[in-house]
Amino acid sequence: MSSIDLSGKVAVVTGSGGGIGRAIAIAMAQAGAAVVINDIGTSLKGEGASQGPAAETQALIEAFGGRAAINGDSVAQWSGAQKIVQTALDNFGRIDIVVNNAGILRDAIFHKMDPDDWRAVIDVHLNGSFNVSRAAADHFRRQESGSYIHMTSGAGLIGMVGQASYSAAKLGITALSKVIALDMSRFNVRSNCIAPIAWSRMTNSIPEDTPEKRALVEKLKKMTPDKNAPLAVFLASDAAKHVNAQIFAIRLNEIYLMGQSRMLRSIHRSEGWTPETIAEHAMPALASSFMSVQSSVQHYGWDPV
């Protein structure tokens, strides 16, 4: 038997009606976990609602003998998050794994971003990750075990044009994950992040209006959602008991350990600083370590293999 075995564990995977969430839900079920498929079945713009996508995921899992239950509540609502976790308890008696994957997009260049769209994205990504994680936290604490896997993004870690709301939410998720790890490691609870790069509904909205964007889309199409599932299964397993508070990224067949904020350089002036000495001495001394103004697309200077 593989050491990566989730038998006896119960996973909640939000936004698992398709794409990366579906791939992770299926992979966890194949590894032996019972899975709660949470999906409200709307478009990326929040239009419509259907259990059809979740039912498709459930059928795929049950086809190979896996166990799955469906929940259609919204992660953006505290009461919805409670019901999501309760679905795991009602159907499978426990909860061991939370994968915060649900997401929406409201892309706009910053000076045109609508405040309501901003709030909607923050509510689903950041507040949703808090809501579901917090709903599971008391159960994890009592049983003294549990694994959180949060989906962040290169848009948050590095930046992306036209995605202020999405980027802010995704970077916020990394901070949330870190503090969960700090607060709950005493209970043998782990919290890690994955920044997935994959062709899915989220990336399918990228406009192909320039040669550069068309080339990007062709690269993304090679990065299928299932490429992200093995790392999620590992992080959910007991084999990852030593892995906590980390941020990983997946790009096709590459796995990256991503950096987190640390001091880069320091300078000292015994008599203190004035605006003039900062301009004359501090900034020139620090400038070589400045972060470049680039998007996550520009950050990778090589094609995935």
pTM here is 0.89
User: pLDDT at position 1, please?
Assistant: 45
Tokens 């498929």 correspond to 37
Is the domain spanning 10-257 CATH 3.30.420.40? The answer is no
47-61 mean pLDDT:
87
User: pLDDT at position 305, please?
Assistant: 63
Give the integer Cα–Cα distance in Å for 300 and 286: 24
Give the integer Cα–Cα distance in Å for 97 and 279: 50
Q: Which two structure tokens, joined as six digits, stand for 14?
A: 């939000």
Rg, the chain, Cα only:
20
Half-sphere exposure of 217 (CA within 13 A, CB side): 14
User: pLDDT at position 275, please?
Assistant: 95
Half-sphere exposure of 291 (CA within 13 A, CB side): 14
User: pLDDT at position 292, please?
Assistant: 84
Between 24-33, 41-50, 111-120, 141-150, the lowest mean confidence (pLDDT) is in 41-50
Q: Domain-by-domain residue ranges, the chain?
A: 10-257
Tokens 């609870």 correspond to 189
What band does 33 get if pLDDT is binned at 50, 70 and 90?
very high
- At 267, phi and psi to the nearest 5? -135, 155
Q: What is the dihedral of CA 77, 79, 82, 88, to 10 degrees?
A: -80
Question: Exposure of 301 by Cβ count < 10 A (0-12 exposed, 13-18 middle, 19+ buried)?
Answer: exposed
Highest mean pLDDT among 15-24, 193-202, 287-296: 15-24
Q: Which two structure tokens, joined as six digits, stand for 276?
A: 């003039």
Per-residue pLDDT of 257-298, as tens digits, reads 999 998 999 999 999 999 999 999 999 999 999 988 887 777
* Residues annotated catalytic, as ranges: 166
The percent of the chain in helix, strand and coil, each rounded to the nearest 5, is 50, 15, 35
- At 256, phi and psi to the nearest 5? -115, 140
- Give percent of the chain above pLDDT 90: 78
Q: What is the dihedral of CA 247, 248, 249, 252, to 10 degrees?
A: -170
Per-residue pLDDT of 145-187, as tens digits, reads 999 999 999 999 999 899 999 999 999 999 999 999 999 999 9
Amino acid at position 213, single letter: K
User: pLDDT at position 144, please?
Assistant: 98
Average pLDDT across the chain, whole number: 91
38-54 mean pLDDT:
76
Tokens 């796995």 correspond to 255
User: pLDDT at position 203, please?
Assistant: 57
